Amino acid sequence: MKTIRDVLGDKGPDVWCIGPDASVYEALKLMADKNLGALLVKEDDRVIGLVSERDYARKLILQGRASRDTLIRQVMTTRVAFADPSQTLEECMALMTAKHIRHLPVLEDGELIGVVSIGDLVKAVIAEQRFMIEQLEQYISG
């Protein structure tokens, strides 16, 4: 069974972060440039939140706020769930489903080592299932 460490090995260790005093506009620009749906918010080398497209839609657009005039700290999600690299894909998918989240930072010994998205996990599950099907087909065909 694949673990989050396996997914990070395939995906790579890149983690994109922003500070809490940056504007939401800056975050949106970075997300667009890097094709991301969320950024971790770090202060003094520790994760203090996460800002996502969902935060933008719900906490800015629907409230009539301007992205250039609003700070990340005003809209970020502060209750961030974390994963451990030894957790299975299924465990993390269950956590993400239960908490209605799409991005999960990964900590090892208190250090941020990556971020996985629900898309990353679905892709890994599909690849794992495809491999199993191929193995079964080879076994059956001799």
For the chain, the structural domain boundaries read: 4-141
pLDDT in tens, 9-68: 988 878 999 999 999 999 999 999 999 999 999 999 899 999 999 999 898 888 888 999
pLDDT in tens, 89-133: 999 999 999 999 999 999 999 899 999 999 999 999 998 888 888
Architecture of domain 4-141: Roll (3.10)
pLDDT band, residue 134 (cuts 50/70/90): confident
**pLDDT number for residue 14:** 87
**pLDDT number for residue 84:** 96
Helical ranges in 35-83 per DSSP H: 53-59, 72-75
**pLDDT number for residue 37:** 93
Per the DSSP assignment, residues forming a β-bridge with 18 are 41
SS3 of residue 132 by DSSP: helix
Distance of CA 86 to the CA centre of its chain: 16
Q: How far is CA 115 from CA 89, 105, 132, 134, in A?
A: 13, 4, 26, 29
